[in-house]
Amino acid sequence: MKPIPAAEFAIATPPRRLNRAVVLDFAERAIVLAMATLFFSRMAATVGAGNLINLLICVSEGMTAVFVLIRRPGQIATTPYAWTIAFVGTCAPLTVAPTGAQLVPAAASIAAMVAGLCLSIAGKAFLFRSFGIVPANRGIQKGGPYGLVRHPIYLGYLFAHVGYLVANLSPWNAAVYAITWGAQILRIRAEEAILSEDEAYRAYQGETRRRLIPGVW
């Protein structure tokens, strides 16, 4: 068999990669849109009841759906591993149930959830068209809450999840959040593996030392 010249191979390879990236980008948008439709159909009846937590959750998840749909193109992870941890970290928390022991006063758990949701909303607002579910590089953001830690959206989720768990402690909810945060830690590492290929992000890592928790990690 006659070998393919290196020059021809170099020309043929990029289009195949581009096509795969386009398909995966479309797939992520479609999945997020389907998830958002299901989520809002379930939440619609609860928002009008003056429930601040549910209102903030809807704002946060609405931003997720809109920003994914209008985001700019970028370098996206294509491995099944990266996609699995991203969607486990995103979808698993939706399976918790409002049942179990309440360990702290309601005001304390509500305060933690409100603070966490507000921080996540702020993080998403600063990312805007750079936001996505699957690890990717669509531009480096350093402003606002990104001066506190490199992943303020996840820090906000952590506050909200802890607030919910201490108000609804059960074996099921504890297991869901254990799986969620196992996936989130792996997700952070996967995101940084892609982002650290960018010199601007490596400089940002030197400026903002902590990934998730100020003074810890």
- Non-local (6+) Cβ contacts of 149 within 8 A are 155, 208, 210, 211, 212, 213, 214
Residue 173: which pLDDT band, with cuts at 50, 70 and 90? very high
Q: How far apart are CA 151 and CA 217, in angstroms?
A: 11
> In this structure, what token pair is assigned to residue 22?
């386009």
Q: How far apart are CA 159 and CA 71, in angstroms?
A: 26
Asked if 180 and 92 touch (Cβ cutoff 8 Å), the reply is yes
What pLDDT does residue 16 have?
53
Q: Angle 142-143-144 (CA atoms, 0-180°, nearest 5)? A: 135
- Non-local (6+) Cβ contacts of 58 within 8 A are 40, 43, 47
Q: Indicate the domain borders of the chain.
A: 6-207
Q: How far apart are CA 58 and CA 209, in angstroms?
A: 31
Averaged pLDDT, 186-210? 97
Number of residues in the chain? 217
pTM of the model: 0.87
Q: Angle 150-189-192 (CA atoms, 0-180°, nearest 5)? A: 55
Q: DSSP E strands: which ranges in 128-170?
A: 136-137
Residue 9: which pLDDT band, with cuts at 50, 70 and 90? very low
Whether 52 shows a pLDDT value over 90: the answer reads no
**Buried b or exposed e, range 56-69, using 16+ CB within 10 angstroms:** bbbbbbbbbbebbe
CB < 8 Å & 24+ apart, contacts of 13-20: 20/78
Tell the burial category of 48 from Cβ atoms under 10 Å away from its Cβ (0-12, 13-18, 19+).
exposed
Residue 21: which pLDDT band, with cuts at 50, 70 and 90? confident
6-207 CATH choice from 1.10.1740.10, 1.10.10.10, 2.60.40.10, 1.20.120.1630: 1.20.120.1630
Write down the mean pLDDT value for the chain: 89
Question: Could you read off the pLDDT of 110-149 as tens digits, one per residue?
Answer: 999 999 999 999 999 999 999 999 999 999 999 999 999 9
Q: Angle 88-200-119 (CA atoms, 0-180°, nearest 5)? A: 45
Whether 2 shows a pLDDT value over 50: the answer reads no
What pLDDT does residue 7 have?
42
